[in-house]
Structure 1
């Protein structure tokens, strides 16, 4: 019995220590104004400010963990940046920041997970967790951040987008997850994003092969959708139903054609360079769509035969050319 109590006591003490860990001795750089010279800030026990500032940068230090209230800022601050400090773990409640923060940037760290409650309640407009090793994100990780508008998660190891992201965070209109390991986009993937403004989605340089027909369910107009550098052979028909996509980029994929609904949509700019598998009959549809709709276009480099008119149609970048078709000689002409 005494042994069991001793083990329990040690376990509880260890847990409390982990929850209330102190920030090691650090030196930060404080920029009072956007164009001012940095001043050194001595940090011990927790990250704090002594006066209003524009930018607090902690870089090239040693900060392996942030626990509850590790960041305790009550003065005005616009940018907080934690870069290349060996940060591997962030506990819920780590950020106790009273004022509205323009940008919270955590980058170039061995951070592998974003947990529920880490950002909840923060008055922050942009979170940038790019250039880490993030592969695990709790479904509730971005809940309850009412002022959040922009989320950047590029250059990580993220394998999926969750339809549960952004509950009670209704103003997110810009999402960037380039250079990750996404292989598909599920139904309702972006359903909780902003409804009162056009969204911007950057999903290039992944391994996306499949997009669910309902992936863009409840998404309003799209300002820009970038899917460059994936493995897509097709796009869902519903992507082009009841919404306007102002700019669609799907360069360097394996597209065969576009769904017919695209040709009835309000796409204003279309780029699909380096899709050498694209079918010629579909290219001619795109050409007609572009010419009648005054659309900005970037074609893959493909030559298509039109035997009925005895011409070759050359598609190249933003232009097409027609050249006489040189027919092979027949026995009658020899």
Structure 2
């Protein structure tokens, strides 16, 4: 009997520990405001809850910021919150997002996860077509799995200051984006056509390790602005920009260019070009013809 009671207590203890381990929000402070009362911010410190919808009012469009330590977003942590418009989980020590953490958020437009400790974005993590703004800057992301942004349709995605070294094909499959920022990574390889079908108008690849402008990579028919400042580009060739028919702004400052040959900018719509702080020793007589 004593042995049976001891085993029962152990089982209960294990259940409670396991159950607690799957609670995303423990000892956190939640702030929110309604969109019709922007000057009124409500705040509450909560011992524990497993889903955002359990702590915020469910009546009107609301923006939520959570402070504290949130190492893992478990399944359904942010789930079925129809009035959630914006969610900020910045600087909360987030290391992992479990599959299904986000879902059924028909009005969520703004999601910021900046300043955390994420190292990878797994498939289907952000399979939410309603987001218009996603900020993943200042993490430690080294891998974007194919399908991480499946069916994504957003205005802006920010991946600045992570640890990405390559963009493989399939990462942005079935994705539509307006602005993509990858400033301050370690990119040296972008797969051909990896960025082609997503409809970008602005692309920031400054402060990376790219060495060339490959027309098979930079094949973006709607792109207006391209920032390649502070890379390692050594050569510009005629035809490099041939698949950027709408490009009007090109930034190539702080690279390793030594020569600007004839025909590089033929048939472009460039109105702004920055070549400062290169190593240019030769500019061909017709280098800027056709601009």
Residue 125 of structure 2: aligned partner? 118
Deviations, residues 254-308 of structure 1 (Å, cap 9, x unaligned): 1123452413322121111111x213233x434x63xx85xxxxxxxxxxxxxxx
CA–CA distance in 1 between the matches of 2:127 and 2:246? 32
By relative contact order (CA 8 Å, sep 6+), the higher-ranking structure is 2
SS in 1 for 2:177: coil
1:92 Cα deviation (Å)?
Answer: 1.2
Which consecutive unaligned segments of at least 5 residues does structure 2 have?
1-14
Q: 1:18 to 1:228 in 2, by over 3 A?
A: farther
1:68 Cα deviation (Å)?
Answer: 0.8
Count residues in correspondence: 269
Query: Are 1:187 and 2:192 matched, yes or no?
Result: yes
1:126 Cα deviation (Å)?
Answer: 1.5
Q: 1:159 to 1:119 in 2, by over 3 A?
A: same
SS in 2 for 1:210: coil
Kept after mapping to 2: 8 A contact 1:214/1:238: no
Q: TM-score, normalised by structure 2?
A: 0.83
Deviations, residues 192-224 of structure 1 (Å, cap 9, x unaligned): 212xxx61100001111234341123x213210
CA–CA distance in 1 between the matches of 2:109 and 2:236? 35
Residue 319 of structure 1: aligned partner? none
Greater share of residues in helix: 1
Q: 1:120 to 1:191 in 2, by over 3 A?
A: same
Query: Are 1:233 and 2:238 matched, yes or no?
Result: no
Kept after mapping to 2: 8 A contact 1:30/1:40: yes
Query: Are 1:35 and 2:38 matched, yes or no?
Result: yes
Deviations, residues 220-268 of structure 1 (Å, cap 9, x unaligned): 1321000001110124544422512110001000112345241332212
CA–CA distance in 2 between the matches of 1:94 and 1:239? 42
Residue 68 of structure 1: aligned partner? 75
Residue 273 of structure 1: aligned partner? 276
Residue 56 of structure 1: aligned partner? 64
Deviations, residues 9-38 of structure 1 (Å, cap 9, x unaligned): xxxx9xx96995443232211021373232
Kept after mapping to 2: 8 A contact 1:119/1:142: yes
Alignment of 1:309-324 (within 5 A): none
Residue 246 of structure 2: aligned partner? 244
1:161 Cα deviation (Å)?
Answer: 1.5
Query: Are 1:148 and 2:160 matched, yes or no?
Result: no
Which consecutive unaligned segments of at least 5 residues does structure 1 have?
1-12, 294-334
Deviations, residues 27-74 of structure 1 (Å, cap 9, x unaligned): 211021373232114552222232323421113x01110111011242
